[in-house]
Structures are given as structure tokens and as C-alpha cells.
Chain A
Amino acid sequence: MSDLVIPLMIGFLFAVGLYLMLRQSLIKLIFGLVLVGNATNLLVFTASRLVSGGTPIVRKGDKVLQTPFPDPLGQALILTAIVISFGTLAFVMVLIKRAYDYFGTDDVCALIEPEEEEIA
């Protein structure tokens, strides 16, 4: 069941995120980035196989891991990615707020540079 649901969800998140990113609003741009980021994390999570099982830590007294266990590496990757995207998005938010302070609008078109004159 989850074999189908999660990929569909990932696709849906990507679609919504991209749609929001392509809107003309800086705030929606951030939301779009967040959603695409989450979709990516889910993708990594699914790509490292979905297994339900215990924590992959060898318990006291055991010599080997008790199967089934999920692959910890995929989750470690996502954890790192989440931390990083958290930091980056925080900075992007500061930047967008500055942009709002300057331009007084969250319209992306305000970012288009005025055309400059030709050189002699």
C-alpha cells in the first residue's frame, strides 16, 4: 500500500512546490522551496527502502542486528539535509524580508533590473 501512496505523495509535493515557486510572489516562492525540499527528503527516505523494524542498534547481549531493520544511512542523510535546509531557509527568509523592506511588495517582478542604456 505505502509502496504506492508515498511515491504519489512525493510527486504531488513536487508538483505543488514547483507550482508555488513559479508564482509571482516571494512568499509563495519560500513555501514552494519548503515543499520541494520535503518532497526531496521523502524521496531519499523511500529510495533507501521502506522497512518497518526496530532501531538498527545492536542490543546488549546480541552479536548481530535483529532483522528486519531499516537502513539507518538514508535517515542520516535526510537528517543532515533537513538541518542544512533549515539553515538555508532561515537565511532566505531574512533575505526576502529585506527585499520586502526595500521594494515594498512581494512581487517577483520587482526584482527585474531596469534595462540600462547602450554603451557608446
Chain B
Amino acid sequence: MIVLSVLVIPLSTAAILMALWTHPEVRRVIALLGSVLHLGAAGFLLQAVVDRGPISFAVGSWPAPFGIEFRADFLGASMALVTALVGLIINLYTTNDLDEPRRRFGFHPLVFVLLAGLSGAFTTNDLFNLFVWFECILLSSFVLLSLGGERQQIRGGINYVVPNLFSSMLFLAGLGLIYGATGTLNMDHLGMRTGLVEPGLMTAISALFLTAFGLKAALFPFFGWLPTSYHTPPFAVSALFAGLLTKVGVFALIRFFTKVWPDPSVAITGLLLWLSMGGLVVAGLAAMRQTTLRRALGYLLVSHIGFLTGGLALGSPTALAMVNLYMAHHMIVICGLYLVAGLIASTAGSESLKSAGGLVKTHPLLAWLLGLGFLALAGIPPLSGFAPKVGLIVEAFRLNQPVLVAGMLLSSLFTIFCLAKLWMIYAWRPQPGDTQGSQPDRLRILATTLLCACMIGLSLALGPVATWASAAQTTEGRP
């Protein structure tokens, strides 16, 4: 039951928020309350998983593999916890600050539907159910993206929705074929049967899934939609998407290539390796010449997806544990950076780099937060990005994949270069004269600071978390 609580709480909150359409004040309180409860449930779930191992739940008392089974393992539960955390921060960030039309059109219910979809995707053990959660995520995210209906957003909305819709269709086609080939949709059950299917057919089917999930994960070369859409909505929405959405694609890839098809053919892992390499380098290069912080972050996000998929292509338990860590770290850090970018844009009155500068003098707190985020994203030692990054590179070395090592090192280099350049513009350059910004709302600053505190918290707790993640990778055998 505890497994379901992480998705039932946000879903119920969304329903209540929608039913209370006309009471904005009450809804504000309920949104925060729902988020806190969600975070509590997710924390409880992770604690239980760490203590007792994976937890299963059969919906409606229909036993697996006939009914839909939910199964939280360490990877899923940790992702669900970060999702809940990001959800709470976003809710706090937008409590005071949302403009009226967006509030009226149901920003908060949609955020909760999105959170429910993500939590569902992270905990389900049924491939078709995963599809349903993906659609849930797609629908809510796409409405969130285009809410408000500014010119930019319409553009971004179409750029976002068409590839994602197409990816859903590929996912569905893959589902149909894999069901035809194996006769089951439960992931563990599939894992037992896919080995019996002709390898050539499985390679073809998994190529469908690779494309479908790769599109969602913004894997090279399918990432074009991300940098052309993520900079268009309000910052809170950007932050929410950047933190959570692509990671769910990566998560689905991990599920597919570790659970559904535990020993993928060399053709597929090789392909995944080269695609990761392409993303690491190409998006890293593109990040360096972007004209706003948000756009640069979009490309960096795509580049860092290569670390995750590269680790998956390596496939060893150590690599997967490191991917798990890196994913949790990256979700928090990239979301935090988008929020900081929002604060900076509102103090400067514009997002353009032309009006940026002088942050150290005018807003020292923001400069600290930005610096912390940059250091964490670049993977500078005491912060949480360093250990998993190094772990992945060492593992790639050990498994004799020099291409991936080169890609990861290049991406790190590009990231540092890009962030250093942005830091010099934002923090050290003297402030340009004419800025019409305003002091940002206190709650927004509080929310951003809290998330940055979580970054430090994760860095401090990295040791035990790494131990749990590795233990989960070695002990969570298939039943």
C-alpha cells in the first residue's frame, strides 16, 4: 500500500484542487499540504525499501503477472523521493508568484497530475502501465508548457508535443510487438521470457523502445525538441521539466535494458554507447554559444543525459549504481539552477545576457546560489556531482570503453568552460546601467535556497546513499 501512496496523494490533491476551482486561497494551502504529504510518503517508501528491499503491490488484488503490479526498488523509490522534493519546491516557489490567468487555468492541479504520473512511472512494474503514466506526464506537461499562451510558448508547445506524441506511438507499437512475442507485460515476467525470443526480433523491438524512450530522454540525436521548448514557459515550469521529465525517459531506458531485456545484444548496447557519446559532445559544444542562461542549461542538460545513458550502456552493477546517484544529483541541481535563473531574470528585469552582471555586488545571496549550482553541475569535488561522474569514468575505463571516457571528459570540459563563461558574465562583470528589475518574492528565494541546501545535503549523505545504491544493484535479483 505504501507503494501506491506516492502516486495516490498527488492524484487526490489534483482532484481536490480541481474541484475547488473557485477558491484560490484554500487551494494554495491544499497544494502545499499535498506536497508535504507526498514528500513524507516518498521518504517513508524509500526508508522501507532500504530496510526491507523492493516492495510489491498488486492493484485491485489481481495477482501479477495478470494484474498490474507496482514494485518499488531502490532506483524507483529514490527517484520518487527526488520527484516529491522537486514538487514541493516548485509549489513553494509558485505559491505567491503566479500570474492570475495561469492560476485560473489550473497550474497547480496540472503540476500534481504531472507528479502523480512521474511517481507512477517510477514505481510501476508493468510495461503498459508505464505507457499510461507516460501519457499522463505528456498531457499535463504539455498543457503546463503552453499555459498562458504567449507566442513563444505556442512555439515551444508544438516543438515539444509533436516529437513526444510520436514517441508515445512508437512506445505503443513496441508494446504491441513485445506482447505479441512474449504474451506478457509484467516487467519481471518479460525478463524471464525475452531471452527465449529470437535475438534478431528482440533487437528490432528494443530499437523501437530505444527510439521512443530516447526521444523522451532527449538522447542524441533526438534532443532537438528540448532546447527549443524548455526556455519558453515560466521559470518554475522549466525547472520542473528540466529536473524531472527527461530523467523519466532515462529511467524507462534503464528499466527496459536491465529488467525487460536483461542482456541486450551487443548491437543495441553499442548503439546506445555511441549515441551517448554524440550527445555528450554535440550538446556540450552547442551549450557554449547560447544567448541566455536557460538555453545554455537546456543544452547542458542534454549533454549530461549522455552520462546516464552511457552508464546504462556499460551495464555493470557499479555503473548502474553510479547512474542512479548521478540521476538523483542531476535532478536536484538542474532544477535548482533553473530556479536561480528565474530569480536572476526577475532582478535584472530581463533574461538576456545583456542585462546580466554585477551579481556579487548587488545580490550576494543569488551569486552564492548560482555559484553553488554551477559547482555542483560541473562536478567539483566536495559536491555531489563529483563522485558519480568519476565513478562512471573509472568504470568506463575498467570496461575498456575509451570512446565513452573521452566523451565524458569532453562533456565535463565543455560544461566547466560554459559555466565559467556564464559566471564571469553574471557575477564578475559590472552591472549594466539600465535594469528595471524588482526584488523577487521572499518565498521564491526561500524555495530556491531550500533546494540548494538539499544539494549540500545530498553531497554530505553521498556515502550512505552510494552504499545503498550499490547494494541494491547487486542484491535486487529478479524473482
Contact = CB atoms under 8 A, between A and B. Distances in A.
Interface of A: 21, 26, 29, 33, 36-37, 40-41, 43-49, 73-74, 77, 80-81, 84-85, 87-88, 91-92, 95-96, 98-99, 102, 111, 113, 116-120
Interface string B169-211: 1101101110110000100000000000000000000000000
Given A44-B173, A95-B161, A96-B158, A102 B151 contact: yes
B346 interface: no
The 8 closest A-B pairs by CB, nearest first: A44-B176, A47-B180, A47-B176, A84-B135, A40-B169, A116-B291, A119-B353, A40-B173
A58 to B, nearest CB: 15
B176 A74 contact: yes
The dominant DSSP class at the B interface is: helix
Nearest to A14: B173
Nearest to B296: A119
B420 interface: no
Interface in B114-159: 128, 131-132, 135, 138-139, 142-143, 146, 149, 151, 154-155, 157-159
Contact of A77 (B176, B290, B353): B176
Given A26-B158, A33-B162, A73-B179, A87 B139 contact: yes
Contacts of B290: 119
Contacts of A92: 161-162, 165
A80 B132 contact: yes
Contacts of A88: 135, 138-139, 142, 161, 165, 168
Interface residues of B, number: 38
B228 interface: yes
A11 to B, nearest CB: 12
Given A43-B176, A49-B180, A74-B176, A111 B169 contact: no
14 contacts: A40-B170, A41-B172, A49-B180, A73-B179, A77-B172, A81-B172, A84-B132, A88-B161, A88-B165, A92-B162, A98-B149, A111-B158, A113-B155, A119-B353
A111 B155 contact: yes
Nearest to A30: B162
Nearest to A77: B128
Interface string B63-107: 000000000000000000000000000000000000000000000
Given A29-B162, A77-B175, A92-B161, A48 B135 contact: no
A99 B177 contact: no
A85 B132 CA distance: 11
B158 A99 contact: yes
Interface in B258-300: 289-291
A98 B146 contact: yes
The dominant DSSP class at the A interface is: helix
A112 to B, nearest CB: 9
Contacts of A95: 142, 146, 154, 157-158, 161
A95 B177 CA distance: 32
B166 interface: yes
Nearest to A97: B154
Contacts of B165: 33, 88, 92
Contacts of A91: 139, 142-143, 161
A100 to B, nearest CB: 10
Q: Which of B132, B176, B425 has the most CB of A within 10 A?
A: B176
B354 interface: yes
Contacts of A21: 162, 166
A113 B159 CA distance: 11
Nearest to A84: B135
Q: Which of A26, A43, A48 has the most CB of B within 10 A?
A: A43
B172 to A, nearest CB: 5
Contacts of A85: 168-169
A112 B443 CA distance: 36
B424 to A, nearest CB: 11
Given A74-B176, A111-B158, A113-B155, A33 B166 contact: yes
A84 B425 CA distance: 46
A44 B139 contact: no
A63 to B, nearest CB: 19
B356 to A, nearest CB: 9
B353 A37 contact: no
A41 B168 CA distance: 12
B202 to A, nearest CB: 14
Interface in B390-424: none
Contacts of B170: 40
Contacts of A81: 131, 172
A48 B177 CA distance: 8
A120 B353 contact: yes
